[in-house]
Amino acid sequence: MPTAESVFALVDKQDVQGIGALLAPRARFAIGNREPADGRDEIVATQGIFFTLVQGLRHELLREWAVDDTTIAETSVTYTRLDGRDVTVPAVSIWTVDEAGLITDFRVFIDQSPLFFEEPLEC
């Protein structure tokens, strides 16, 4: 089973092919309130597009739990926006793996709106 450290190292390097190698062919990926991506190829493509929207990112792993086929990771994610400004937000990622150790379901609970808005939104 991939550890949180190994998964986030690939994400932080923006290594879409490395990320793809961790995924089962019919994997599902959901982040925030966006529509899920279905299948390894779609996940790799959407991650590649997302990486063009930021200069970089880095995960600070705060806690990790692994139970049976499921890993839960609490992180603090710092994004470097295209304007050079850093934005840090909390996140929780949960993934499950199949018998081969490939990720079948990956969910990220995060609010990425600070990445795309100068000021917090007023409701």
pLDDT class for 1, splitting at 50, 70, 90? confident
**Residue 43 near residue 27, CB atoms below 8 Å:** yes
pLDDT beyond 80 at 102: yes
Query: Tokens for 100?
Result: 């081969």
Q: What is the pLDDT of residue 121?
A: 52
Q: Does the reported pTM lie above 0.85?
A: yes
Q: Would you say residue 119 has pLDDT above 90?
A: no
Full set of structural domains in the chain with CATH: 4-116 (3.10.450.50)
Share of the chain above pLDDT 90, in %: 89
